[in-house]
Amino acid sequence: MSTVNSVAHGKHHHAHHYDSAEHQYLAAKFGTWVFLCTEILMFGGLFVGYIIYHQKFPQMFHEGSKFCDWRLGGTNTLVLIFSSLTMALSIYYAQLNQKKKSLASLYITLICGFIFLGIKYIEYTHKFHEGLFPGRFFAFDNPEEMARWKAMGINNMGMFFSFYFVMTGIHASHVIAGMGLITWLIIRTHRGDFDSDYYTPLECVGLFWHLVDLIWIYLFPLLYLIS
Amino acid sequence: MAHGQHDNHEDAQHHHIIPFNIYIKVFSALMCLTILTVFAAQINFGAWNTVIAMLIASIKAGLVLSFFMHLKYDQKIYAVIFGTGLFFLLVLFFFCNLDLMTRLNVDGII
Amino acid sequence: MLSTVSTSSHFMPPQGSEVAAGVDTLYGFLLIASFISCVLVIGGLIYFAVKYRRTSPDQKTPYISHSTTLEFLWSFIPFVIFMIVFVWGWWVYMQIRTMPTDALEIAVQGQKWSWTFTYKNGRTSGSEFYVPVGQDVRLVMNSVDVIHSFYIPAFRTKQDVVPGRYSNEWFRAEKEGDYQVFCAEYCGDGHSAMMAKIHVVSREKFEDWLANDPYKGLAPAAVGQKVYAGRCIACHDTQPRSQKNTKLGPNWGGIFGSTETIEGGTAKVDENYLRESILDPNAKIVKGFPMGVMPTQAGQLSEAEISGVIEYIKSLK
Amino acid sequence: MSSAPGKNYINEKSGLWSWLTTLDHKRIGILYMIAVMTFFAIGGTFAMLIRTELFKVGPTIMTAHQYNQVMTFHGAIMVFMVIIPGIPAFLGNFILPMQLGAKDVAFPRVNLLSWYCLIIGASIAFFSLFYNGVDTGWTFYTPYSITTQNGTILMVLGAFVIGFSSILTGLNFIVTTHKLRAPGMSFWRMPLFVWALYSTALLQVLATPVLAITLLLLSAERLLGVGIFDPKLGGDPVLFQHFFWFYSHPAVYIMILPAMGVVSELITTFSHKTIFGYKAIALSSVGIAAVSFFVWGHHMFVSGQSEIAGILFSFITMLVGVPTAIKVFNWTATLYKGSISFDSPMLFALGFLFLFTIGGVTGIILAVIGVDVHFHDTYFVVAHFHYVMVGGTLMAIMGGIYYWFPKMFGRMVNEFWARISFVLIFVGFNVTFFPQFILGAMGMPRRYFDYLPAYEPLNRISSIGAWTIGTGFLVGLAVIIHGLTKGEIAGDNPWGAKTLEWTTSSPPPHENFLVQPVVTAGPYEYR
């Protein structure tokens, strides 16, 4: 928010309608938290749907979860938590004016994002290969399993994968958006925009990235660990 | 709130810097909890499985919020905003669930 | 006073049941309460507006910031009224929604855009059904496609018919007569034509009707006419095609033996064409009419009924 | 970059590009005005088509299929593109920062982005006309919306994008209210319009995300067949209705709360008297906003939700009635011993009070669950929400435009013709919608292309009324256009109002105030 209509105020600029850079920092952070609140409610709708159908069809979710490999999901959890740490550290180093370390932390965060998506890609292709598509397109071809499910009274196995793909898909789109923002931060850090007086974008993107991590912390047990 | 905007930037002129070793401790705790939740999932606690998994997830979420997202050290208003979101989410869940739990004549056709 | 309001001046349809009378009494009370509060607010508004109109450009007004007593009163009094009508409405609602135990059960099926009624003895009927007067009737309803809503204004009752589950609705008609049924949940092009009639008759008449095979002794074309009146009338007219088409589907009059312009060619209208149009309506679409509107009648009509409809169309000029 | 003398936000820069890339909240407000008025003209045309079709029994000017599309577009346009952005994004954008004594909203770029979201979303929605259109009604109920024609998905995506516009506006207003108040402007010194917009913003931020996910799931339902709302695949269509109304009921208050804010301003200004019960009105806005999240199930009394849920929702709905009643009574009490002038904005405010009172009490009738079973999905409901949405919100928009017109453009509107437009709209409105209460009582269901002959006389009256309203709005448009070009030059404070926006010049300079205002007293100090 600092290119157009800005007021020169020491080294850093702030937009004309704020009193000071600090004032603008607090407003930006406030706005970011309000935005996170909307994210909570958006993902929350999915979680509510998940819990309701889980109650309605516990066995179906139980069986479906068997197709989610906890090793891959667990690895992804660790990767995301680690990326959250590095994201937090990039702010920490910016606060200490250590540009190189801050930059390194951002690069590691970005790489973690790629690793996460890579593992997701492996999981997705595996599921497509087996015909584990959502809802109407569910095409799993294993007569034995199908017969077993039928005996258990499960006839809408696709719904588990509907939730799986919609939840992880929207989450992955947030990871991609976060990675785009982190790339932008890397460019700006290279340029030397941030120091202990001004790191608002780092802080705000950081909050977003932690939220993405937070949501995965819930997705992991709900999808991978209920079998 | 008697002074309008000017009370907004007196209390936080110098941002709190969380010490490095706290980040590392929190990270280690998160790692341990992840391993714990995977471990706990291998044991069958019956209906408690989901409860335990959600409990561990919530502890992890609390750690991320408090330290990585600085809620513990920041102005309380941010926690209020976040809490408001969670509260209204609970409202959505409560009423939807109330409806589904109390339908007296649910005879699914399929 | 309540009963006067609830019978003469509030424009509700005639009361067909005891529940309806209960609803109307509450509605009468609400109308009076609403009227009084409107008079208070709007009357006060007009009175103040006239009395305190601005008389000079520098007129001063007293500084009245608030009055806790008044504000408490006009929150508390409405609150009490709201609670009264809530509890009253709850009580009425319980009467509407508590299903009678020893009722005549009729299965109701909603389909775009007709209602089919099936009795325990297998007697089915489309678009109209008979019930005995003074008898509890419970409708067990489901839908084969989208959400419909079974609305009987005279009995002040309504319930959405949701696909995938059964919904319940009950009534006990107090007077003989014919009562209108509407579909109240938007369901597509024929929504406003998705109606039915309830014939409330004496018990003997009802037993007679129930035991009667509806098609007994009828020629196939007459069978077809009955099916038409029950299932097809919402979307098809019996006028000739040359007349203006006012319904969703093509007119039937005089089409048999003609050559129909369909999407991508022409087709001769013979028995097989008509049969296909009934069982697989989207196979050939008459030009100018939308695709996918008519649902298949396969499994809905018996062989005798299909033949009947074809004969009926043949008979139309 | 403060303005030179004689410069204001309109003439500071020129050219279309300077408008399309502007970050000035006032210019963005004007952009919203143009967009909303355009959409209103389109939605209004659809309304006229609906009423013309319903003029007599049987098909009049269109087929059932066309009617359902017209009905859908009328609803979707009016809800998503006119009434929701109408007051907050248009009047609010222009007025809120000025009433707070701020130079701009907190995030000017986000503000512009939100306008583009509205335009892009609306374009996507209109594009559906080229893909067979949409005939689901604005409520998109499953499973109908899953099975009907393909245009639906575009309309759903359009509404999704417009939802972002709403979220971003709300976010901006919340942060602006918290962070950019002028020195001395405590919460208890904020004008009631700001309180109303703040409450609205809370709703926009908390409710709209649930609409977003619902619409995303509906798109997934059509594209991927996920089956979450499709009964054929084990889903529950009633759950869709829960999700949908979790947003759409608070959305009703997104539509009416800002209108209440406008009316609070108008009543006090034109009574030349301080508002009666400032705190009660301010808090009742927040109260209505909070309680509105607990009542959505009253749209589903006959939908097949459980009886217990229905009764609970009926109970909580009654609670919303209380703060609403407080507002209405406090407005009336403000008139007491006032010095009331009947300029055109005040006529709209009084019209609002009149119509909103009727809309409000019929709302209570509908909230009584035993009675609602009969009235649900009938024309009674149609009449009720038009009394609130048109009689309430649109009256307030018209009053608000006439009220702030001198501030926005530095010119007055023609008072005589503005009053004529009020009379036409007010009379036409009652002629249109009062008969619909009776039609509803008689049992005529809504969304009907055709009706029984018994309903014909009242439908005719209703249609005649609709054409009258249409004429009234055309006169209103003419008044605005005339005012823009030929209106008398207005002073800084033509109405003698007390809030901050009237302390600056008309039209205001780029940064609103040449000197940062400092607030020392409440907003309505008529002493």
DSSP characters for A27-51? HHHHHHHHHHHHHHHHHHHHHHHHH
Residue type, D30: I
Instruction: Note whether B109 contacts C168, CB cutoff 8 Å.
Output: no
The pLDDT of residue D461 is 96
Task: Tell me the two tokens of residue C316.
Answer: 């139309």
Short-list D365, D134, D356, D167, CA closest to D254: D167
Tens-place pLDDT, residues C62-75 = 999 889 999 999 99
8 Å CB contact of A27 and D175: yes
**Is the Cβ pair D175, A30 closer than 8 Å?**
yes
Task: Assess contact for D272 and D339: CB atoms under 8 A.
Answer: yes
- Of the candidates B23, D286, D319, which has an alpha carbon nearest to the alpha carbon of residue C81? D319
Please state whether the peptide bond connecting residue C113 to the residue before it is cis, i.e. omega within 30 degrees of 0.
Answer: yes
Q: What is the mean pLDDT of chain D?
A: 93
Distance CA A218, CA A213 (A): 9
Q: E strand or H helix at C139, and its extent?
A: strand C136-143
Of D101, D206, D236, the CB nearest to B85: D206
Q: Where are the domains of chain D?
A: 23-503
Measured between CB atoms, does D448 come within 8 Å of chain C?
yes
Q: What is the model's pLDDT at position D506? A: 87
For residue A10, pLDDT over 70 is answered with no
A1 pLDDT more than 50: no
pLDDT above 70: residue A11 = no
> What does the pLDDT read at residue B104?
61
Q: Nearest Cα to B8, choosing from A22, D468, D266, A34?
A: A22
Q: What is the mean pLDDT of residues A73-78?
A: 94
Which chains share 3+ C-beta pairs under 8 angstroms with B?
Answer: A, C, D
Percent of the residues in chain A that have a pLDDT greater than 90, as a whole number? 67
Which among B31, B78, B96 has the least Cβ separation from residue A78? B31
CA distances from C3 to C22, C26, C152, D366 (A): 10, 10, 22, 20
CATH class of C104-211: mainly beta
Band the pLDDT of A16: cuts 50, 70, 90: confident
For position B8, what pLDDT does the model report?
41
Q: Given CB atoms, is D309 within the 8 Å cutoff of chain B?
A: yes
The nearest CA of chain C is from the CA of D525 a distance in Å of: 8
Nearest to D365 by CA among C91, C96, C31: C31
Q: What is the pLDDT of residues D436-494, one digit of tens each?
A: 999 999 999 999 999 999 999 999 999 999 999 999 999 999 999 999 999 999 989 99
Q: What is the assigned CATH class of domain C220-315?
A: mainly alpha
Would strands C104-111 and C114-119 be described as parallel, antiparallel, or unpaired? antiparallel
ω into D517 cis (within 30 of 0): no
Greater pLDDT, D14 or D81: D81
Interatomic CA distance for residues D410 and D412, integer angstroms: 7
pTM metric for this prediction: 0.92
Q: Does B contact A via 3+ CB–CB distances below 8 Å?
A: yes
Tens of pLDDT, residue by residue over B58-80, are 999 999 999 999 999 888 999 99
Task: Give the number of other CB atoms < 10 A from CB of residue C168.
Answer: 15
How far is A155 from chain D, CA to nearest CA, in Å? 8
In the predicted model, is pLDDT for residue B7 greater than 70? no
Tell me the per-residue pLDDT of D189-215, one tens digit each, with 9 for 90 and over: 999 999 999 999 999 999 999 999 999
Ordered by start, the domain boundaries in chain C are 2-50+67-97, 104-211, 220-315
pLDDT value at position B4? 40
Q: Compute the distance between CA of residue D208 and CA of residue D198 in angstroms, rounded to an integer.
A: 15
Across the interface, do A27 and D179 touch by the CB < 8 Å criterion?
A: yes
| Residue A3 Cα, gap to closest chain B Cα (Å) | 22
In this complex, how many residue pairs, one in chain B and one in chain D, have their CB atoms less than 8 Å apart?
72
* Chain D contact present for C291, CB below 8 A: no
ipTM of model:
0.90
Is the confidence at residue A3, as pLDDT, over 50?
Answer: no
The whole-number pLDDT of residue D13 equals 87
Orientation angle between helical segments C271-279 and C303-315, nearest 10 degrees: 130
In DSSP notation, C40-103 reads: HHHHHHHHHHHHTB--STT---------HHHHHHHHHHHHHHHHHHHHHHHHHHHHHHS--SS-
CB-based contact D272 C163, cutoff 8 Å: no
Point out the residues of chain C with pLDDT beneath 50. Answer: 1-8
For the cut 80, the answer to whether the pLDDT of residue D3 exceeds it is no
The answer for C 87-116 residues in CB contact with D (under 8 A) is 88-97
Pick the residue of D113, D173, D175 with the most A CBs within 10 A to test the interface with A by mutation.
Answer: D175
Q: How far is D317 from chain B (nearest CA, A)?
A: 14
Distance from CA of B2 to the nearest CA of A (A): 17
- For C140, the closest chain B residue by CA position comes to B105
- Name chain B contacts of A30, Cβ cutoff 8 Å: 77-78, 81
Q: Which residues of D476-495 are buried (b: 16+ CB within 10 A; e: fewer)?
A: beebbeebeeebeebeebbb
Kindly state the DSSP code that residue D34 receives in the 8-state scheme: H
Contact D227 A134 (CB under 8 A): yes
Which residues in A have their CB inside 8 Å of a CB on D?
1, 4-5, 15-18, 23, 26-28, 30-31, 34-35, 37-46, 49, 52-53, 56-57, 133-137, 155-156, 158-159, 162-163, 165-166, 170
Q: Subunits that touch chain D (at least 3 Cβ pairs < 8 angstroms)? A: A, B, C
What residue spans define the domains of chain A?
Answer: 20-224
What type of residue is C83?
A: M
Pick the CATH number of A20-224 from 1.20.120.80, 3.30.43.10, 1.10.1050.10, 3.40.50.300: 1.20.120.80
The secondary structure of residue B74, as a DSSP letter, is S
> Which comes out higher in pLDDT, residue C266 or D271?
D271
Q: How far is CA D207 from CA A212, B35, B96, D159, D170, in A?
A: 20, 36, 15, 14, 11
Q: Is A22 or A111 the better-scoring residue by pLDDT?
A: A111
CA distance A9 to chain B (A): 15
* C-alpha to C-alpha distances, A124 to A140, A172, B105, D26, nearest whole angstrom: 14, 12, 39, 48
Judge whether C104-211 and C220-315 match in fold: no
User: Among A202-216, D100-114, D222-236, which is the least confidently predicted range?
Assistant: D222-236
- Domain D23-503: CATH superfamily is Cytochrome c oxidase-like, subunit I domain (1.20.210.10)
pLDDT tens, position by position, A142-162: 888 888 888 888 888 899 999
Q: Which residue has the higher pLDDT, D33 or C212?
A: D33
**Cα dist. C310→A96, C223, C249, C252 in Å?**
88, 10, 16, 10
- Identify whether the C-beta of residue D371 lies closer than 8 Å to the C-beta of residue D466: no
Q: Select, from the ranges C241-255, C261-275, D6-20, D348-362, the one with the highest average predicted confidence (pLDDT).
A: D348-362
Pairwise CB contact (< 8 Å): D175 & A42? no
Element (H, E) at C161: strand C157-161
The neighbour count for residue B21, using CB atoms within 10 Å, is: 8
